[in-house]
Chains A and B, each alone.
Chain A
């Protein structure tokens, strides 16, 4: 019984949050990795792109809520999501046209693109704060839980409860659907294949008549979609705050690099690696160990390896280890 309790506690406090967080990171890292493989630079504005898409979704959600439109047990934000995606797509295309295209035509060095993305990051960050303010916004509605801790306890008779939040369920389901669609698109459609071809060998893609501007446009559209979905899922699961989204840049980049920049499979694997490490290392294991160890040998302290505030340090440490031992990442990424 104690063993079961330990498993349930582990699932409840470590597995489920880590899977949800990992899905969110994976979607974010996919966006970073796609930009890297097609446009060949590290986009520092990605966190703020996520914030922008989420902000639009929140505004539309509020409008829907004030009109009395809901989505039953599911959060209204899911109805508003397409609007957020479309607005972000428009923003990405405008940014590309007014900013990035100039440097593409010049064949500027990647580091110039990174600088430029810093400028875009500032502007988007300012824009988001200007419109919605710097504070915390909650926009989750609908049913809170799929399984409630108490119901689980009554059902199983265990002393440890298991709760699955609706947002966690939605995150995982959405992530699976989005990733499946993305891989189908990249591997089966003509446009998707042309994107992979362009990423693989730009000159040869040109010789084959692939239009780079079209490839770039599709990339931004996909990135806008991924970023908005990732941002909205994160916001539903936790809460929306512009600065938090900016800070997500670090774990997202860590995930993309650990997996191998430029490799979509790597981005997903990296997302989960980072999420699981962050959660397990900053989790207080007292409860789980208490169940597993004999009565009088349970631990006194929290048995927390690092305090939660050091979660950046975890992403970072993993990043450094991978870079030192396998610089191209776990799945062979590109190195430009």
Chain B
């Protein structure tokens, strides 16, 4: 089997000098795929994603992007390498307009960004209408779109979303998932942490169920949904 495009391989580590939260945890994603990390509260879902993004130090294991070992790089350097990250909270510049948010997303680029911005507006048409409004005045779902759009502005090679549907209504959640599928269709690998395990696994090409910082189950989204063990423990029957 060839090496996945992005892989956090056997990651073990925790925050600062604290105890290890992750234990030999492996997460991977390939182009065109949506990989979803699910699991009970406190299982280390977000921590696993932050580890992939370099926000905590690993005691063991490695992170490789496109075959290159990036384990020692800072999050900022990983952004330059092509990782786009959307944090769960405070993921937009509230006092700046939608368009400025997108511009700031593209800060590291020196080339013309109008084309990428056009693509983002096509993906999220509502943002085009609100382009000169401060992002802080938008609704929850719209803010998430700004956040994803901002991350897309760097033309990342992989997009990572930390609970993109946290705190939005079910209807908005469905719409957001549709958008995420659309992004994935462009060939961009997407790694995402989700609280709403059932809905997320439905759109996932690959799912990871974490329990106490360890890989408990993994497989395609459909496999996991069909797995009676997983259903019983995490999906409420």
Interface residues of A (CB under 8 A from B): 190, 193-194, 196-197, 200-201, 203-210
Contacts and interface: CB of A to CB of B under 8 A. Distances in A.
B150 interface: yes
Contacts of B104: 193-194, 197, 205, 208, 210
A209 B76 CA distance: 6
Contacts of A206: 75-76
Nearest to A199: B95
A161 B90 CA distance: 58
Contact of A208 (B79, B90, B94, B95): B79
Contact of B107 (A201, A203, A209): A209
B100 interface: yes
Contacts of A210: 104, 107
Contacts of A203: 87, 90
A209 B80 contact: yes
A194 B107 CA distance: 8
B217 interface: no
Interface of B: 75-76, 79-80, 85, 87, 90-96, 100, 103-105, 107-108, 150, 154
Given A203-B87, A207-B75, A193 B150 contact: no
A37 B100 CA distance: 18
Contacts of B87: 203-204, 207
Contacts of A201: 90, 92-94
Given A204-B90, A204-B91, A193 B76 contact: no
Contacts of A205: 93, 104
A206 B79 CA distance: 9
B95 A196 contact: yes
A313 B94 CA distance: 36
Contacts of A207: 75-76, 79, 85, 87
A102 to B, nearest CB: 20
In the complex, the 10 A-B pairs of residues with the closest C-beta atoms, listed nearest first: A209-B108, A200-B93, A197-B104, A208-B107, A200-B95, A209-B107, A208-B104, A197-B93, A209-B79, A201-B93
A208 B100 contact: no
B218 to A, nearest CB: 28
A204 B93 CA distance: 8
A197 B96 CA distance: 7
B96 A200 contact: yes
Nearest to A194: B107
- Which of A203, A207, A209 has the most CB atoms of chain B within a 10 A radius of its CB? A207
A256 B136 CA distance: 23
8 contacts: A197-B107, A200-B93, A200-B94, A203-B90, A204-B90, A205-B104, A208-B107, A209-B107
Contacts of A197: 93, 96, 100, 104, 107
A196 B92 CA distance: 12
Contacts of B91: 204
Nearest to A187: B100
Contacts of A209: 76, 79-80, 107-108, 154
Contacts of B103: 190, 193
Contacts of A208: 79, 104-105, 107-108, 150, 154
